[in-house]
Amino acid sequence: MASSWAASDRLGVLRRYRDYLPITEATPLVCMGEGETPLVRSQRLEARLGCGPLYFKLESCNPTGSFKDRGMVVAVAKAIEEGQKAVLCASTGNTSAAAAAYAAHCDLRAHVLVPKGNIAQGKLAQAVAHGAQVIAVDGNFDQALSLARAITDKHPIALVNSLNPYRLEGQKTAAFEIIDHLGDTPNYLFIPVGNAGNITAYWRGFVEYQQRGKATKRPRMMGFQAEGAAPIVLGRPVEKPVTVATAIRIGNPASWKGAEAARDASGGVIEAVSDEEILTAYRLLAQEEGIFGEPASAASLAGLFKMSRQGLDFGNSTIVCIITGSGLKDPETAMAIPTEVREVPVELTAVEKAIGVA
């Protein structure tokens, strides 16, 4: 039975970390090769920042292009174990992409509620391509999530938002991988914060691994919201969140308390970065490191620049920035970078002239 899911030569989250996950004999070991994402050393920004070793964890390398796969594989496996035939989520995009893909892989129906007009094209394309039913709610993410809860309370459909406890269990495995790669915990973890599930999950992972003797210390958790969607920073929900970083355009985070607990227990911060700071970091990441993350992902690097400007000394610190999702999800933002596309006739000399070797 289990072997029918072993479609990949990679172990996947469920098999690699089964001793740390709520898995039973009856849990199908679903796998699309999620996890085991690269931890890439910075080439240029590390020197620019004058910090210790700086790494980027490329969660964009997961099967659907974001970290959401780590939690979704656990949530979907448990839904199958419990006999469910359908999953439902509210989503700013990446959760729906992951739900749609894993549901298709496992022959479940998927319904996704997206906030109308507030979702990046690439993510919507994924949900559509995988055959999910897409329902655009004429409201924001927080309202769509309320509806998702009400429907799954009432009908036999698995809710696969991060309110589903299996999601965070799967997501915590990214913290395990960082320790497995580095040999110990980094000093700082920089991470974007939207619904705040991921920062909560990473903290849980770091704490658990240390308790099991796999690490000697815990990192400072450095979470960053977008200025126009910064409820945790402001200490109150934001009714109409606005930011270019659609994946963190959230006004009332489901894991608000978890994020505050991670911040406080780790001696970290949750702060805001402006859209301008996010887009600057987004371009630097792409142009000086070769890493194409989506705008929300760049909030982690924008936060590192901000803390550095404010005088925090990262000189001897090991730092990990989480690149939560792929830049390909949001081509509109990339194409807004001012560029000049030169048109030339089909002539060698014209091309030579254009590239400056004539």
CB of 253 to ligand PLP, least distance (A): 7
CB of 191 to ligand PLP, least distance (A): 8
Which CB sits closer to ligand PLP, 198 or 333?
198
Which CB sits closer to ligand PLP, 80 or 262?
262
Residue choice 118, 164, 198, 252 for contact with ligand PLP (CB under 6 A): 198
Q: Report the alpha-carbon distance of residue 330 to residue 95 in Å, rounded.
A: 15
Residue choice 126, 243, 297, 318 for contact with ligand PLP (CB under 6 A): 297
Residue closest to ligand PLP, measured at CB = 325
Query: Where is 319: in which H helix or E strand?
Result: strand 319-323
Which CB sits closer to ligand PLP, 80 or 229?
229
Residue 225 β-bridge partners: 272
- The label of the residue with tokens 């890493």 reads 291
Residue 243 contacts residue 272 (beta carbons within 8 Å): no
Residue choice 115, 122, 325, 327 for contact with ligand PLP (CB under 6 A): 325
The CA-atom distances, in angstroms, between 152 and each of 80, 111, 145, 148 are 15, 11, 11, 6
Which residues in the 232-271 window bind ligand PLP by CB under 6 A? 247-248
Q: What helix, strand, coil percent values describe the chain, rounded to 5?
A: 45, 15, 40
Binding mask 42-81 for ligand PLP (x = CB under 6 A): ------------------------x-x-------------
Q: Report the alpha-carbon distance of residue 102 to residue 78 in Å, rounded.
A: 12
Residue choice 193, 221, 278, 304 for contact with ligand PLP (CB under 6 A): 193
Q: How many residues bind ligand PLP (CB under 6 A)?
A: 18
Q: Identify which range of 45-53, 107-115, 192-200, 211-219 contacts ligand PLP by CB under 6 A.
A: 192-200
Question: What type of residue is 100?
Answer: A
Q: Any contact of residue 197 with ligand PLP (CB under 6 A)? A: yes
Q: Report the alpha-carbon distance of residue 262 to residue 341 in Å, rounded.
A: 46
At residue 350, the 3 state secondary structure works out as: helix
Of the candidates 134, 212, 148, 214, which has an alpha carbon nearest to the alpha carbon of residue 179? 214
Residue choice 13, 100, 113, 196 for contact with ligand PLP (CB under 6 A): 196
Q: Identify which range of 8-16, 153-161, 194-202, 265-273 contacts ligand PLP by CB under 6 A.
A: 194-202
Q: Report the alpha-carbon distance of residue 347 to residue 307 in Å, rounded.
A: 50
Which CB sits closer to ligand PLP, 157 or 193?
193
Residue choice 42, 126, 164, 195 for contact with ligand PLP (CB under 6 A): 195
Residue choice 64, 94, 243, 266 for contact with ligand PLP (CB under 6 A): 94
Which CB sits closer to ligand PLP, 57 or 68?
68
Q: Report the alpha-carbon distance of residue 247 to residue 229 in Å, rounded.
A: 11
Task: Using DSSP bridges, classify how beta strands 39-41 and 54-58 pair: parallel, antiparallel or unpaired.
Answer: antiparallel
The CA-atom distances, in angstroms, between 244 and each of 45, 50, 228, 240, 329 are 23, 28, 9, 13, 13
- Tokens representing 244 are 């270019």
- Residues in touch with ligand PLP (CB under 6 A): 66, 68, 94, 162, 192-198, 247-248, 294, 296-297, 324-325
